[in-house]
Structure 1
């Protein structure tokens, strides 16, 4: 049984914390690893340089969208391919993220969180845009 009085606040907490983590990851790629460093890392894994830019954009834009509650369902759904890529990259390192190079359970869990956000929607305290459809909230 879902408590309809508190569920919007639970969705808010899940949305904002997930968004903050995405924003943090994107900013780390920009300011700590640097964009050229991130591009080099992606290329060392066999991915095209373009993927690094797309991931940085997805993490920054998706994180902000989740934090503000703007097009929440679309943002959460759009972030899943990035997380599938991260799960793939970490798959050979074992289950635990404490493993050398980080394991696959953290990005896999984050996929589950995004799926939950897609089903829950924005929750409380979301920015409502005039043209935003119900399915995007």
Structure 2
């Protein structure tokens, strides 16, 4: 395989795993924590409660978009405020995400993954392939 082929498959791997995680995190807030619990958590952070509904919808929609490979770069960048917000929300719990309440390592790492996805594009099997032209390699 060529490097560009491997890069395309790497982008797909990041896109699919990240999309699945966004859906899982959105559904976790609904099915496990419940929406009233999620709203209460947002309010305990000093955030407006209705923001919880927007975040859940954004996570699920972004997850589906990433899984399908639609507007991949745009979606990846649009998730950054959510992930930086999650990093802020977990900052008081320390670095390790295994800490009580979850630390900030995972949301920050996930933000970096989203930046990589934004740079790489949808990769192989995306419904909406990237329109970026490959950069010419020096001879």
Shift of 1:133: 7.7
| Correspondence for 2:92 | 92
Alignment of 1:1-137 (within 5 A): 3-128=3-128, 134=131
Shift of 1:134: 2.8
* Moved beyond 3 Å, runs of 4+: none
Question: What RMSD in Å do the two structures reach over aligned CA positions?
Answer: 1.6
Secondary structure at the counterpart of residue 33 of structure 2: coil
Shift of 1:3: 0.9
Alignment length (residue pairs): 131
Q: CA–CA distance in 2 between the matches of 1:78 and 1:109?
A: 16
Shift of 1:102: 0.9
**What is the TM-score with the length of structure 1 in the denominator?**
0.90
Q: CA–CA distance in 1 between the matches of 2:63 and 2:45?
A: 24
Contact preservation (8 Å) 2:90, 2:103: yes
Shift of 1:50: 2.2
Contact preservation (8 Å) 2:19, 2:64: yes
Q: Which has the larger radius of gyration?
A: 2
**What is the TM-score with the length of structure 2 in the denominator?**
0.89
Cα deviation, 1:60-86, whole Å, max 9, x if unaligned, reads 000001010010001110000000000
Structure 1 spans left out of the alignment, 5+ residues:
none
Q: CA–CA distance in 1 between the matches of 2:64 and 2:50?
A: 21
